[in-house]
Chain A
Amino acid sequence: MTNIKTCIFIVFLCFLMNQSFAQSVNWQTLKNNRHIAHIHTSWDHGLVYGLGYSYQLKLKTPILLQASYSLPSGNQLLDDFKVKLGGQVRFYKINYFQFSASLYALYRRFQNPLVRLQNFGTELSIVAGYYKSRWFIAGEFGFDKAVVTHFKHSDRFKTFIYTNVQDGWAEPATGGNFYYGLQAGVSFYKSDLVLKAGLVSEQSFQQTPIIPYYLQLGYNLKIK
């Protein structure tokens, strides 16, 4: 029952908040903290602001259930956003070297005067790093797949561009991006301050996004 309540709480938080990359934590200082709040600002296909929450399960292997919500800047606050639900696990540790993996389900939305896109996707990543009690540095590699996307075009699109454009769910998967980079953080009191940076490449490695990098400054607060 407790777990069901936890899940409902996580889902609730998902839809209250908005987008992000995998939330970075200092595994060395996590210990028995159960509740962790995250905030961040990042360059992630736009200037993005996000909130997140992690819940640590009481297990021998550290597992974090996570939810986050992010949205890009702009005049229209609710037209674009990304929700993530998933978790990460530290699956291997040797001295101060620790390895973790994460898996998230994504829902994201984009709307401009021409089209509304809704997408369900998934994101996988692995992180390998050196974690001390006051700081850490790690490398990460991830893949963000836009699995299925719904298209709804506006009258403007149909008038000025293509009258017979198709609305509805599209296949095959409409996109995917690899990302790889470094993350580093400092830990103090109940907090982590984390900086992440790296490159983004389209899944075929033949194209790059308009801005082919990401940058994130995040803050974690271990609540309890």
Chain B
Amino acid sequence: MKNIMSLWLITSMILLLGSCNNEFEVNDPGKLVPKTVDQDASLPSIFINGTQLHSQTFGNPNNPMVVFLHGGPGSDYRNGLNVRQLANDGYYVIFYDQRGSGLSQRHDRNTYTIQLMLDDLTAVISHYRTSSSQQVFLFGHSWGAMIAAAYVNTYPDRIRGIIFAEPGGFNKKLLDEYGAASRKIKLFAESTNDIMYPDQFLSGGKDKHAILDYKLAIISGFAYAPGNNEGNEGPSPFWRNGAVMLDRLVEIAETEGFDFTTNLHRYETRVLFIYGENNKSYGLSFAQKEAAFFPNAQITQIDDTGHEMIHFKWNNIHPIVLTYLNSLR
């Protein structure tokens, strides 16, 4: 019995000593996730609408403006940086990480709303716009394309043209349809285990941004796991996910619902939808459902790619987008 007690004591001591002899603090900025703009002054940023956003621009500020809206919610614009090539084509390209996303400033969970996202977009456009006659185009990917729809649904007269790259759903019904098709749980798959198992290693309170963002980062591999429904070829880069912002917007969608389609019929300018051939969750039929809300829509398939088409197949997208933009100048 004494020996058993000794073994138990030794085990406990190892655990205790192990917990005291550590190398870094989990919640320290920059340890497991990169610092945000309010923590690292070397990052490019703008102050708008009561927040600090990570933001970059490319091209002549007097050219027609293309504002890129990244996916998520909560992700960042790193996987969309190929779009900066439009700066060489005569456009002023604006990137920003949305509030609570990427490297932008984090806020209290309950402050995030969809209207706030739209207000931020208005403020970003105002911040960079050099004249009232400067044309403004939106280029949205996934969630960013949903935000683009919400924006023109609310402000149909402010935007010259829109490129939608696989928006996840312009209303709750379509979002559920897309989610069910793209996020099927395979009970016995390694990718499922890769999402669920870390919960016993890492947890944080509702506003512990660093640890929650890190958890989201390490489970991101499910998006490109072999056989994934979205047709993703492999990992695409990102800096940092905003887990709290994502969680809050999902909660809003689930509890309050949303519908970004009520005024889309008033937007008469031709819009461009692009979708990846290999995304089994989207496809032509889903694109047609979303395009049907607009009076004038063009749908184009991007061959041999999936949801992360902007990162993997930009060379195929570029001429289509450029032709569309030039047709509206």
Contacts and interface: CB of A to CB of B under 8 A. Distances in A.
For B3, B4, B25, B197, the residue with the greatest tally of chain A CB atoms inside 10 Å of its CB is: B197
B218 to A, nearest CB: 5
Given A7-B7, A73-B188, A210 B23 contact: no
Given A45-B199, A74-B193, A166-B31, A148 B205 contact: no
B190 A74 contact: yes
B11 interface: yes
Contacts of B193: 46-47, 72-74, 80
Interface in B234-257: 235-240
A80 B221 contact: no
A194 B4 CA distance: 28
A146 B237 CA distance: 29
Interface stretch (B13-21, B65-73, B125-133, B281-289): B13-21
Given A7-B4, A161-B217, A204-B206, A108 B25 contact: no
With most chain A CB atoms within 10 A of its CB, the pick from B18, B20, B193, B235 is B193
A203 to B, nearest CB: 6
Interface residues of B, number: 55
Contact of B218 (A3, A73, A114): A114
A85 B15 CA distance: 13
Contact of B15 (A57, A74, A105, A174): A105
A132 to B, nearest CB: 31
A46 B18 contact: no
Interface size range of chain A in the complex: 35 or more
Given A75-B189, A161-B238, A165-B32, A148 B4 contact: no
A151 B198 CA distance: 12
Contacts, number: 180
Interface in B165-223: 187-190, 192-206, 211-212, 217-221
B15 A122 contact: yes
Chain A interface SS verdict (over half): mixed
Contact of A146 (B11, B25, B201): B201
A207 B23 contact: no
12 contacts: A6-B4, A45-B200, A72-B196, A82-B200, A113-B221, A114-B218, A160-B235, A169-B21, A172-B26, A207-B205, A209-B196, A210-B195
Interface of B: 1-4, 7, 11-12, 14-15, 18-26, 30-34, 187-190, 192-206, 211-212, 217-221, 235-240
Given A45-B199, A162-B217, A169-B21, 15 more contacts: A6-B4, A7-B3, A45-B198, A120-B19, A121-B15, A147-B15, A148-B19, A162-B239, A166-B23, A166-B24, A170-B24, A171-B20, A171-B26, A202-B205, A204-B203
